[in-house]
Amino acid sequence: MTPPAGAPVQVLTVGHSNHSPEAFLALLTRHGVTALADVRSAPYSRFNPQFNRKALSASLSVAGIAYVWLGRELGGRPDDPACYRDGAVRYDLLAQTAAYRQGIGRVLRGASAHRLALMCAEKDPLHCHRTLLVSRSLEEEGLEVAHILADGALEPHESVMDRLLAAHREDLFAEPKSRAERIEEAARTPPRRRKRG
C-alpha cells in the first residue's frame, strides 16, 4: 500500500478494545499494517491480557508485524507533573515536552519505512488521546491520518474532528473562531465516553 508519488504518508490509528487476538490481527492485516506503535502510557490491560505488551508483541511478531512501545513519549498519562492542571492532563502542555516531540519524530521516521498504526485501548478514536493529541500533531507535520474502526472501516481524521465539533457545545455569544481554534478548544474538553470498549 504505497501512496502515490507526492501524496502525504498515511498513518493509521486503532483501539484494541476487547478484540480477540485474531480479530485484532485481521484489522491490521486488512489495512496492510507492517508496524504497530503502542501509545498507551502503561502497555497492559487487566481486562484484555492479550494486549499486555509481551503477549501483543509476540502475536504481532508471528504475523510479521513489528512492535514498538512509545507510551513513555506519546502516552496520554505522562509522568511529568508539569503536564497536569487540577489533576487532569493538559494535552497542550504535554505536546510541548521534549519527550513528546521525540516521540513524534520517531513516528515520522517509522511512517517513512512502514505502514504504521498507532494503538491505544479506546474503541472509538474520538475518546482517545491518539486522536485528540497525537493525530493532530501528525497532521501538523504533513501526514494524513485515518482511524481503523472496530468493524474494519477507515474513518478519516477530519471526520472524527467533525464528530468532536458536533459534540462540543459552543458559546453562542463568543467571538467567531476558525475551525482550527474550535478543534483546539473542543480537544481540551472531549466528549464524555458513553461506553468503554
- Note the Cα 70 to chain centre separation in Å: 11
pLDDT at 186 > cutoff 90:
no
3-state secondary structure the chain: CCCCCCCCCEEEEEECCCCCHHHHHHHHHHCCCCEEEECCCCCCCCCCHHHCHHHHHHHHHHCCCEEEECHHHHCCCCCCHHHEECCEECHHHHCCCHHHHHHHHHHHHHHHHCCEEEEECCCCHHHCHHHHHHHHHHHHCCCEEEEECCCCCEEEHHHHHHHHHHHCCCCCCCCCCCHHHHHHHHHHCCCCCCCCC
Task: Report pLDDT for 171.
Answer: 74
| Rounded Cα distance, 64 and 131, in Å | 26
Task: Report pLDDT for 5.
Answer: 53
Task: Report pLDDT for 6.
Answer: 58
Task: Report pLDDT for 196.
Answer: 39
pLDDT digits (tens, 9 = 90+) for 134-176: 999 999 999 999 999 999 999 999 999 999 999 887 777 778 8
pTM of the model as a whole: 0.89
CA neighbours within 13 Å on the CB side: how many for 9?
A: 18
Taking the domains of the chain in order of start, what are their residue ranges?
A: 10-188
β-sheet bridge partners, residue 119: 14, 38
In the CATH scheme, what is the code of domain 10-188? 3.90.190
Residue 195's pLDDT band, with cuts at 50, 70 and 90, is: very low
Task: Supply the angle between the helices 157-167 and 179-188 in degrees, to the nearest 10.
Answer: 70
Mean pLDDT of the region 70-77: 96
